[in-house]
């Protein structure tokens, strides 16, 4: 069965997550340097049979697009040109980084390790995709 890929796009580091084949759970993948993202996806999409990607939509507290949105739009444009059959969805990612940070504290991750952006991005990508999956499940059950 096909899966969904979650992306927490960052200017330097991008967090990734993947759904299980039944699209119920989200699992964190490694965060990778953004400049290597497309090369990674070229291999990953084929091997994992990705049918859709969910990319975080960064908004400020006053509902304006974050500065990173222009980079995300460029990525989406390039991705869609290369993979026109893969659907792209967006999910408001406000507070995702904060939730990810507090999750690291709850998990007992030491302060020095919490400073590493790749762990934060990995957890954020997992939260983005899990929120998306839960939202879709709720729509089905209505």
- DSSP letters for 27-71: EE---EEGGGHHHHHHHHHHHHTEEEEEEEE-B-TTSPBPTTHHH
pLDDT category of residue 75 using cuts at 50, 70 and 90: very high
Q: Answer for the pair 128, 6: CB distance below 8 angstroms, yes or no.
A: yes
The pLDDT assigned to 94 comes to 60
Cα 128 from Cα 98, distance rounded (Å): 12
Tokens of 31: 């965060």
pLDDT in tens, 15-72: 999 999 999 999 989 899 999 999 999 999 989 999 999 999 887 677 777 888 999 9
CATH number for the domain harbouring residue 86: 3.30.420.140
The pLDDT assigned to 26 comes to 93
Range of the domain at 128: 3-141
Total structural domains within the chain = 1
> How many residues are listed for the chain in this entry?
142
Q: What is the pTM of this model?
A: 0.83
The pLDDT assigned to 1 comes to 79
């Amino acid at each position: 069965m096909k899966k969904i890929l979650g992306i927490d796009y960052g200017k330097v580091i991008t967090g990734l997550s993947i759904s299980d084949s039944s699209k119920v759970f989200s699992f964190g993948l490694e965060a990778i340097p953004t400049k290597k993202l497309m090369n990674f996806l070229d291999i990953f999409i084929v091997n994992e049979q990705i049918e859709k990607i969910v990319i975080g939509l960064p908004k400020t507290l006053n509902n304006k697009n974050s500065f990173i949105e222009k980079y995300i739009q460029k990525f989406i444009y390039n991705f869609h040109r290369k993979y026109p059959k893969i659907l792209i969805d967006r999910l408001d990612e406000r507070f995702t980084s904060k939730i990810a940070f507090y999750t690291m504290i709850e998990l007992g991750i030491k302060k020095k390790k919490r400073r590493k952006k790749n762990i934060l991005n990995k957890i954020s990508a997992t939260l983005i995709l899990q929120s998306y999956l839960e939202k879709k499940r709720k729509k089905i059950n209505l």
